[in-house]
């Protein structure tokens, strides 16, 4: 066990892509935590495939670095506001934060969200200006921006006296001087050791341990991760678990793990201030306190962010159901969704009247999109409905979630972007033009207005725009006509295989979503109509062959490039009467009612019901 004054617990905060994970890699490599010959993968902290592909951190993870005779515990925080539930809890485990900011881009909205949580917990900040070697880095201005942000977020005087370290994580260099770099991370290690306070809790008092993160392992079951708030915890010890509801149950600590580098190592005991993982308690949950049976005292229960978006997850019932997936039954779907609740506390799953449908609520499109993507990689086949925001009744008034949206666009696209956001009920709160041809605009916008906006925004800015948003608050309901898709769709009338002839015959009607040779079914959406109504098309049409040679040879005809959707794009595109069918190999958009006549009948009933109201 390290002595208390040699332990440093810090969380690392950064905007997506500002180099946080690379920085942790370099700190690990230079500290001698790894053996000389040990192979270390790049971006070692992002362990999940999706995190590696997208370059984002989804789940909080911890690592421990030995520097001289100090133990530095670093907890990685997700930068994306969709994973806010994780962030809030991590702040309870640490005594300081490392804020990583790109020396050119400056502060971004996600950083703001996580930083606000850190300052509220009264944590000591250190600012790392990363990518200082970029040719257009502007360190002095970015430090001023950080200071303004701290003031805006209500930092106290001590927090405003933050230490700045200038670094290039890629090169593995750092220094306290923006003009020159030392060729190692020494300046950063020393700043952490010197400025972050050591844990002050006492090991003499009765045990208290707050469960802040969950992990799951098929051999050990649930693994609770957190910080020992006071006292000492030992392997084999009998403890009392104080549940979220206020109950108590007896349990025994079977295994205790400390962290070393990226590995968990078994330890006999740990004291106040240590960050550890423990196994052996069956139904343990986030926010529960593990205490001394002789003096059981609960710590305050952790607040968990409420979901703002919900979708219906259904068993796949399309004509192609069961062809590509391994898991297709409602039993498997239910089991998988309830398993996800073991580790993800911001998720909610509700049963519906139908045994084949579940309402899943989460923190945003990315949160739910990642769950669906993980499920499809595991071999699940399912259908999901359009994401809908969760409307709340607060003091008798209808309220909906409002997001803070920050957009960086080239000056020439500014007018088009502002106009498109105006129709989605956005209200501009700030605008900064720093003279580089780029403008930064800040808006408050109902979350509904953002569903499906990203693809349209990239078209408007020809791919040059950058948009980021974070949940701001619940505001009064904005009315029914916010956001949504304005174009109709092309719906297949046949089940069969799409042909080049069939595609060419309907190309002038809109943009197609598939290549020739793709299998389609009746009611499947094959393209976007140029107008605002849906039309039925036959995409499987074969050319009628005759024995007369036609004068105009058609082997030179070229097909326009189809628009192929990613999972997120498909979810954003959906309308109320449509589903997205997701399998390990395909993503298909379809109408809820596949048959044209039945669809028309249902639409007639809906209109009649509306006029009667």
pLDDT at 358: 93
Determine whether the annotation assigns residue 529 to a binding site.
no
The annotation status of 19 as a binding-site residue, yes or no, is: yes
pLDDT at 77: 72
Give the model's pLDDT for residue 557: 67
**pLDDT at residue 370 in the model:** 83
Going from the N-terminus, what domains does the chain have, and what CATH number goes with each? 4-195 (3.40.50.300), 208-291 (2.40.30.10), 392-476 (3.30.70.240)
80 annotated ligand-binding residue: no
C-alpha distances (whole Å) from 87 to each of 10, 58, 79, 147, 156 are: 13, 10, 8, 22, 21
What is the residue-wise DSSP string for 459-473?
A: HHTTT--EEEEEEEE
21 is in an annotated binding site: yes
Is residue 569 left, alpha or beta, with left meaning phi > 0 and alpha meaning psi from -120 to 50?
A: alpha
133 is in an annotated binding site: yes
Report the pLDDT value the prediction gives residue 37, as an integer from 0 to 100: 40
304 has binding-site annotation: no
Q: Nearest to residue 63, comparing CAs of 234, 225, 175, 267?
A: 225
Q: Helices (DSSP H) in 471-513: which residue ranges? A: 500-506
Structure tokens at 272: 């106040």
Query: φ and ψ at 422, to 5 degrees?
Result: -60, -40
For the question of whether the overall pTM of this predicted structure is more than 0.75, the answer is no
DSSP string, 183-205: SSSHHHHHHHHHHSPPP---SSS
Rounded Cα gap, residues 267 and 400, in angstroms: 48
Parallel, antiparallel, or unpaired: how do β-strands 124-130 and 96-102 relate? parallel
Cα distances (angstroms) measured from residue 405 to each of 224, 424, 469, 481, 488: 35, 12, 4, 19, 27
Burial class (CB in 10 A: 0-12, 13-18, 19+), 604: exposed
Q: Burial of 115 by CB count in 10 Å (0-12 exposed, 13-18 middle, 19+ buried)?
A: buried
Q: Is 25 annotated as a binding residue?
A: no
pLDDT at 84: 54
What's the rounded Cα separation, in Å, for the pair 452 and 533? 18
Low-confidence ranges of the chain (pLDDT < 70): 1-2, 15-18, 20, 32-61, 78-88, 109-111, 113, 217-218, 262, 302-305, 434-436, 483-484, 546-557, 613
């Amino acid at each position: 066990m390290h002595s208390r004054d040699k332990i440093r617990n810090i969380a690392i905060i950064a905007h997506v892509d500002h180099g946080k994970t690379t920085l942790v890699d370099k700190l690990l490599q230079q500290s001698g935590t790894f053996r000389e010959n040990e192979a270390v993968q790049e971006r070692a902290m992002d362990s999940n495939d999706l995190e590696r592909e997208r370059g984002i951190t989804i789940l909080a993870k911890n690592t421990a670095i030995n520097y001289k005779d100090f133990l530095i515990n670093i907890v990685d925080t997700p930068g994306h506001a969709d994973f806010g539930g994780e962030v809030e809890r991590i702040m309870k485990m640490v005594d300081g934060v490392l804020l990583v900011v790109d020396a050119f881009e400056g502060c971004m909205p996600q950083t703001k969200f996580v930083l606000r949580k850190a300052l509220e917990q009264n944590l000591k900040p250190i600012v790392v200006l990363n990518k200082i070697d970029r040719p257009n880095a502007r360190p002095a201005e970015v430090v001023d921006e950080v200071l303004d942000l701290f003031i805006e977020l209500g930092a106290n005087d001590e927090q405003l006296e933050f230490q700045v370290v200038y670094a290039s994580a890629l090169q593995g260099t750092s220094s306290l001087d923006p003009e020159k770099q030392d060729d190692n991370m020494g300046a950063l290690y020393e700043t952490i050791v010197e400025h972050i306070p050591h844990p002050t809790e006492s090991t003499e008092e009765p045990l208290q341990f707050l469960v802040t993160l969950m992990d799951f392992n098929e051999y050990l079951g649930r693994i609770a991760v957190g910080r020992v708030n006071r006292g000492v915890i030992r392997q084999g010890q009998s403890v009392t678990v104080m549940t979220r509801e206020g109950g108590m149950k007896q349990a025994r600590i079977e295994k205790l793990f400390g962290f070393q580098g990226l590995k968990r190592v078994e330890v006999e005991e740990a004291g106040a201030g240590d960050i550890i993982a423990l196994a052996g308690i069956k139904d343990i949950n986030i926010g529960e306190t593990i205490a001394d049976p002789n003096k059981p005292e609960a710590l305050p229960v952790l607040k968990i962010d409420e979901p703002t978006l919900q979708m219906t997850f259904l068993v796949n019932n399309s004509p192609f159901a069961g062809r590509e997936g391994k898991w297709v039954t409602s039993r498997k779907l239910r089991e998988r969704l309830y398993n996800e609740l073991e580790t993800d506390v911001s998720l909610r799953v509700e049963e519906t009247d139908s045994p084949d449908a579940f309402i899943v609520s989460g923190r945003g499109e990315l949160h739910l999109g990642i769950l669906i993507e993980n499920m499809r990689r595991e071999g699940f086949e399912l259908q999901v409905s359009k994401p809908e925001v969760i409307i709340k009744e607060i003091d008798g008034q209808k309220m909906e979630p409002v997001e803070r949206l920050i957009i960086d666009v080239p000056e020439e696209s500014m007018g088009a972007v502002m106009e498109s956001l105006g129709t989605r009920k956005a209200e501009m709160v700030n605008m900064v033009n720093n003279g580089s041809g780029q403008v930064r605009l800040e808006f408050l916008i109902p979350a509904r207005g953002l569903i499906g906006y990203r693809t349209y925004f990239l078209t408007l800015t020809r791919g040059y725009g950058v948009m980021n948003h974070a949940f701001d608050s619940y505001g009064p309901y904005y009315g029914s006509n916010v956001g949504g898709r304005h174009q109709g769709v092309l719906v297949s009338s046949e089940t069969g295989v799409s042909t080049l002839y069939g595609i060419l015959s309907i190309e002038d009607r809109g943009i197609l979503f598939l290549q020739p040779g793709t299998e389609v079914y009746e009611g499947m959406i094959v393209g976007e109509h140029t107008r605002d109504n849906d039309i039925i098309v036959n995409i499987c049409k074969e050319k009628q062959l005759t024995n007369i040679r036609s004068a105009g040879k058609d082997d030179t005809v070229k097909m326009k490039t189809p628009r192929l959707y990613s999972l997120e794009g498909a979810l954003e595109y959906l309308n109320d009467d449509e589903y997205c069918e997701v399998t390990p190999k395909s993503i298909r958009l379809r109408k809820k009612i596949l048959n044209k006549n039945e669809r028309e009948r249902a639409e007639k009933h809906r209109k009649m019901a509306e006029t009667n109201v």
